[in-house]
């Protein structure tokens, strides 16, 4: 295992200290777990972005054409409404200009 030294604000260290004492873990375990979780989130996001760039609209529409029509349910309506509310909060990776989200998937493919 490697060793690192980090500097964090005292109030944050006190708060982490209280939490780990309650959970019965060490501060080292807390930060190692936090780093692993953060890496997992970044890698999952990068994977999804890279898959989105490989998307084929024609193939997607072809697959959809094989699904029979059905009425829109309240569930799907509420999902669309929630998506519209959250859309401005989601960082985007635009091709050909605009704002770029700083992820490896964006910089590796473009």
Domain count, the chain: 1
Is residue 27 within 8 Å of 16, Cβ to Cβ?
Answer: yes
Domain membership of residue 3 (yes or no) is: no
Sign of CA dihedral 109, 52, 34, 8: positive
Domain membership of residue 42 (yes or no) is: yes
Domain that holds residue 79: 10-109
- Please provide residue 44's backbone torsions phi and psi, each rounded to the nearest 5 degrees: -65, -45
Instruction: Please report which confidence band the pLDDT of residue 98 belongs to, taking 50, 70 and 90 as the band edges.
Output: very low
Domain membership of residue 1 (yes or no) is: no
Mean pLDDT, residues 43-70: 89
pLDDT for res 77 = 75
pTM above threshold 0.85: no
Q: Which of 31, 25, 29 is nearest to 12 (CA)?
A: 31
Domain membership of residue 4 (yes or no) is: no
């Amino acid at each position: 295992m490697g060793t690192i030294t980090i500097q964090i604000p005292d109030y944050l260290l006190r708060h982490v200290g209280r939490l780990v004492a309650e959970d019965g873990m060490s501060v080292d375990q807390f930060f190692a777990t936090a780093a692993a979780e953060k890496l997992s989130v970044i890698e999952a996001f990068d994977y999804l972005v890279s898959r989105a760039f490989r998307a084929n609209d024609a193939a997607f529409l072809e697959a959809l054409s094989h699904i029979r029509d059905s009425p829109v349910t309240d569930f799907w309506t509420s999902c669309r409404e929630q998506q519209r509310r959250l859309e401005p909060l989601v960082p985007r990776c635009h091709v050909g200009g605009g704002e770029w989200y700083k992820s490896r998937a964006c910089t590796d493919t473009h």
